[in-house]
Structures are given as structure tokens and as C-alpha cells.
Chains A and B, each alone.
Chain A
Amino acid sequence: MKTRLSALAIAATLSVSALALSGTAQAGATFDGVKQKGYVQCGVNLGLYGFSAPDDKGKWSGLDVDVCRAVAAAMFGDAEKVKYTPLSAQQRLPALQSGEIDILARNTTRTLTRDTANGLNFAPTNYYDGQGFMVSAKLGLKSAKQLNGATVCVLPGTTTEQNVADFFRANKMTFKPVVIEKNEELHKAFFSGRCDALTSDASQLAAIRAAETPNPNDYVILPELISKEPLSPAIRQGDEEWANLVTWAFYAMVQAEEKGITSESVDSAMTSPDPDVKRLLGVTAGNGKALGVEENWAFNVIKQVGNYGQSYERNVGTGSKLKMPRGQNALYTEGGMMYAPPLK
């Protein structure tokens, strides 16, 4: 028995050191690797409508998918040069660590642990989310602080469950969790009255309220957001060139919205006298060289993917079935948090 245990211990040590080795072996190779193979390998959700999901025709679309398409447009001048790897929640981090994918654009919350111990780097947040509560309008609640003693429907095993517990403890309240593994059944339990409140990310609650209730006005989403969920694309640590490209491809979309440049107007914007626009679109050279790509990289991103506002409205906003308001995701000039540093 003892020998068997020690053999196990040796095997475990070996696998851990192999893991550490493969982590460092990838360093600096991603940018060149992507350039050489000619496409971006993008890790996405198996199917989260509005963020990354195949449409009825099997074509990937969504806010997260657009990040990958923007990177491909910046690097190759062609937003279609993306291959998608659908990933389950358990798989997503190992897939990035092992080099199976180049970007993880899979509604992943940026946290300190993921940024450090897991060996990831994060690009700028492309969607600010937060956890909220939805309750029946009949209860007449105005605030989540009135939920003392409530039964709460919650998905297990995610940060969502932990956040609820933290919130109630911090406010010296009690609650009864109703934990259900599958989203559909969770929603059903809430609508059938098994719990007083349903908790999830506010974006999800809005979608559920819009689509699954007979009358959306029968339910209210309470104003408190009890967590910060900055959903951000992730890359492996150790390749700054690649991190730069992913970061600035996204910022180019935000900057384009701020300057009012859309995929339709980008051609005429090439003649704009605005020096910021000239630098953004590569009329004034410099940005492309610094990133190691063609000078018209941002032009391609805007032309093929659109600016951030277009991407938002098309995938999760008024142009989509989710109809989510811009909220925190509006430009900083309109009271939101989307802000691109100067592209110069």
C-alpha cells in the first residue's frame, strides 16, 4: 500500500512539473505562431446568446466573438480568419494555458487570482456586468436589502452562489438557497414561485425577463448590483506583443465609436482632417508599425467588425433579441465606463 501511495505521489509531482514547464514553453510564441498559421484560434462559449453562440445557420456571432474577429481583422486584414473552439466552463482556463487557443473570449470575469496564479493576462473589459436580483412585482420590494429570510434561486458552483452568501452575511440577513444545476429548470422554479428571488448576472436577468415571462412588467430587477463582473477576453501570460494587439484592437473599436466612425462611414472618414482619426485609421503612419501589423489595421477592424456601439447593439442591444440598455457599457462621455486611451 505504501509503495502504491509513493508511486502516486511521484506521478503527481511529475505531472505538476510538466504543467509548469509547458506554461513557460509557450512564452512569446503566440504572436508569431498566429501569424504563421494564418488564423486566430478563439475559445468561446458552447452557446451563450449575444456573447458567443452559433446562429440558426451555424455561424458564430456575439460580443465576445467580435473581439476575436477584430483581432483577426487587425492582424490579417480579414475578420473571417478565426477558428472557434467551444469550451465548457471547466475547460476554458486549461485550454488557454496549454496553448490550444490564442484568445479566450468566453464571458470570463477578470479577477486577481485568474490574473496571477492562473497565468493569464486580461485585455480590456468588453462587457461590464454585475449580479442582481429579480423578484415578482407583486412583492412590492424596492431594494435587495429587504430580502431578509427570502428563498433565492441560484446556479451552483459559480461565483454567483458565493456572492449571494457574501451579500446576505454582510447585511446580517438570512436566506434559503434553492440550488439547481440547469438554467432552464432554475428559471422554471422561479416562475413557478418556488423561490422569492432569482439571482444571476444583470444581463442574464434582463434576457430572462424579456423572453421567458408572459408579461415582463410582472417582474422587477432590483437596483442593487452585488458584485462586479467585468467580462474580459484573456490571453496567456508571456507574450506582450500578442497582448498589445488584442488590447488595442478592442480599443480601436471603442475609439471609433467615440469619433462617430461606423463600418459604413469609415471609407469617408479616411479623408477626415481630425488628427486623432488620421492616426486611428493609419493615414498618419506609426500605430501599425508599433503593433507589428499593417498600418490600416484599425480601418479593417472598423470596416469589417464595426465600432463597439455597433457590435453592442447588434449582439445584445436594441438590434438583438436581448434588448439590453447600454448602462455601464456606454461610452464614458455618455455616463458609461467604455474609455479608450489615446491611440498615438
Chain B
Amino acid sequence: MSKEVPTNTTTAWAASYEEEPSQASVPPQANGVTALKPLGWAPVNWAKANLFNTPLNTALTVLCLAILWFTVPPMVNWLLLNAVWSGSSEACREAAGACWSIIAVKHRLIFFGTYPYEEQWRPFLACGLFVAMLGISGVRAFWRPALSVAWALVLIAMGVLMWGGILGLTYVANDRWGGLPITLMLSVFAIALAFPLSILLALGRQSSLPAIRTFCIGFIELMRGVPLVSVLFMASVMFPLFLPEGVTVDKLLRALAGLTLFTAAYLAEAVRGGLQAIPKGQYEAADALGLSYWQKTRLIVLPQALRIVIPPIVNQFISCFKDTSLVTIVGLYDLLTAATVATTDPEWRPYFAEVYVFAGMIFWLFCFSMSRYSQWLERLANRYTRR
């Protein structure tokens, strides 16, 4: 893919990669130098030109190699070579490496929390459907009206699977949901609801109507001025105190509302950055064409603005995904809470690190996919703007 793009973009790409710490010792002019010296064995030449070309770089290279030498082998030993993969906790006590048997024993608690054991194929299937749908929605060939119909069907199927109560499935109230389904649903729904809300907030913040502008500024600044934990705490603990007797709002819904509003405020600021980055001439040209406000926004402003802000938006999405782990403060059983609970079993308590590594890998998998997808999306969106 990167071979097809013009040279000026390649340099830009290279520049962004050079900021990564693992390549810190590579000087910026590296690419040009290698191209000019075809003599000798290529890797040696490359190393001479890039890693050992000055005394400082030589020292840095040696230092990096030393750090790698002291950290990587023990880590590989712990993670893989000396690890125990199955069996009892007694076997783990004698081993020097990681005890992955805790994952073998506890994985269903970690993934599905307190969902009834015999019925756990239901959240498994629901998560599978959900992730598959998310994957499909990312592929350009599927961007057509039928996709929204498919989404509606999948959401209904998920609801049926998770709640049950019909089609011979036993009813499972959502206070028993837990683990991965909670994390996935909270984050995806929060993102999906926050995104349109944030566009409205960003537009409202730029509005010429004082009431709307004041409201939007007030909302954004209030949400940004408060930690997410306190927003969640307000939504879950304080909010019910103000409700009349007998009226309760579902705990999951309250946390979702808190998370959505919080994410929307941050996203709105990212979107506003995009709105302000568009040259004034674009607005004026749209006005000159006689477009109405909504036509102008929909056809001229937003397509350009949103393209600019893909990186900060995805950044916010990733942050929202990880923020869902804070719902433990309001007693929801998300993936990380379930993982923590799995470590409270006295028999397995010494092996908490393994559980957190495992949970970390799951989070990383989702976040990394999001960030790779955003890079692809960025290239797609910028394809038509290259000159």
C-alpha cells in the first residue's frame, strides 16, 4: 500500500515513525544515505551508516542492545518458556514462570462475569455477532443502506440473546451481565451515541444564537472540568437520590449516559478543531451559492472538517474504550472488574499479574485494531485531496 503513494507522503510517514523510541538512534537522513551506498553486505552497511555512524550513536546502540539483553530474555522466560499452561495451583507454586492455568480456570468468569454459567454461550454468541458486525462495517464494500438494516437485526438478536425471555431462552436480567459484553457494549454504544451529539455540540458552540452557544459552551466546559469518575459517581449514586420514590433508572443505562455525555464533550472539542481548520473561503463560497445553513454544514463543512479530525476522534474512541474500565467504581462488572475478582480466590491470588497481563492483551487487541483502522480510514479520506 505504502509503495503506491507519492514520495512526499513517504517522507511524512517516515518522519512520524522516527518518533518511536525503538528507532530513536536512527538519524533523520538515514533513508537517503542507504540508497547511495550499494557496496558490501546490505545489513552491515545499513548498520554502519545508521547505528554506528557517530560515537554518540554507537553508544546509544550499545546501550539499547544492553537494555534489550537484560529485559527481553527474562520476559520471554517468564511469559513462555517457564510458564505453566494448565494444571493446579500447586504446579504453579513450583514454577518460575507465569501461571497461565489461572486463565484456563477463570477465563469464563473473566469474560462473562456473573452471567449464568450454563447460558454463557449466549453472551459469547452476542459478542461474536457484535465484533463481526463492527468488522463488516469497517469494510468499504459494505457501506450501503442494507448495512443499517443488518445492524438493526444484529442489535435485536443481541438483545434477545442477552436478555432472553422469548424463544425458549431463560430471562437474564442485566444486573447479571458482566465481563467482555459490558465493556464492548458500553464503549461502542457510548461512542456511537456521543459522536452525533458531539457534532451538534461543536456546531452549537459556533452558533450565532446566544442561547444555543451558551448552553453548548456550558455543557462542554462542565463535562471537561470534571473527572470521569465523578461523572459516573453522580450518575450512579447521586442521581437516584433525586428521583421520586419507586422510579429507578437502570444502572447500566445510567453509566452509559454518563460515559456518553463525557465522551461527547471531548469529541465536540476535537470536531470544533476541524470546523475551525476549514478556510473561511469555503464557508463564504457556500453562502454565495445560496446554500442554507444545514446544506452548507452537511455538504461543505462537515465532510472536510471530519476528515481533518479523524486522528483526534479515534484517539478519543480509544480513550473511551479504556475508560469503560472505570465503571467498576459504580459496581458494574466490566472485563477488568471481572478479572480483578478472579484474582481474589485465595488459591490463585498470587497469580494476579497473569490475569492483568491477559486483560491488558484483550484491551490492547481492541485498541490496536481501532488505531490501525483509523490509519486506513485516514488514507482513504485523504486520497482525493492530494495534489
Using a CB–CB cutoff of 8 Å, the interface residues on chain A facing chain B are: 15, 18-19, 22, 25-26, 29, 46-50, 53-60, 83-88, 90-91, 94-95, 97-100, 184, 207-208, 210-212, 214, 321-322
Contacts and interface: CB of A to CB of B under 8 A. Distances in A.
A49 B245 contact: no
B346 A98 contact: no
Interface in B322-378: 328-333, 337, 340-341, 343-347, 349-350, 352
B105 A56 contact: yes
Interface string B290-334: 000000000000000000000000000000000000001111110
Contacts of A57: 108-109, 117
B46 interface: no
Nearest to A95: B237
A58 B333 CA distance: 11
A48 B112 CA distance: 18
B175 interface: yes
Contacts of A50: 346
B331 A86 contact: yes
A85 B175 contact: yes
Given A59-B117, A90-B237, A184-B349, 8 more contacts: A22-B241, A58-B115, A60-B114, A85-B251, A86-B332, A94-B241, A95-B237, A208-B349
Given A47-B341, A86-B333, A54 B114 contact: yes
Given A87-B331, A97-B241, A98-B237, A58 B108 contact: yes
B285 to A, nearest CB: 42
A238 B225 CA distance: 38
A214 B90 CA distance: 10
In the A-B complex, the 9 residue pairs with the smallest Cβ-Cβ separation, listed nearest first, are A47-B341, A57-B117, A211-B346, A58-B114, A98-B240, A86-B331, A94-B237, A321-B346, A184-B352
Interface string B80-104: 0000000000000100000000000
Interface string B257-279: 00000000000000000000000
Size range of the chain B interface in the assembly: 35 or more
B345 A58 contact: no
A234 to B, nearest CB: 16
B135 interface: no
Contacts of B241: 18-19, 22, 94, 97-98
A60 B175 CA distance: 13
Contacts of B341: 46-47, 53-54
B122 interface: no
A50 B236 CA distance: 27
B303 to A, nearest CB: 40
A50 B346 CA distance: 9
A29 B245 CA distance: 10
A46 B117 contact: no
B350 A212 contact: yes
A212 B350 CA distance: 6
B237 to A, nearest CB: 4
B141 to A, nearest CB: 39
Contacts of A88: 328-331
Contacts of B350: 211-212
B242 to A, nearest CB: 5
B247 to A, nearest CB: 10
A50 B332 CA distance: 20
B173 interface: yes
Contact of B347 (A47, A59, A214, A321): A321
Contacts of A87: 331
A254 B331 CA distance: 31
Contacts of B352: 184
A99 B240 contact: yes
A86 B177 CA distance: 12
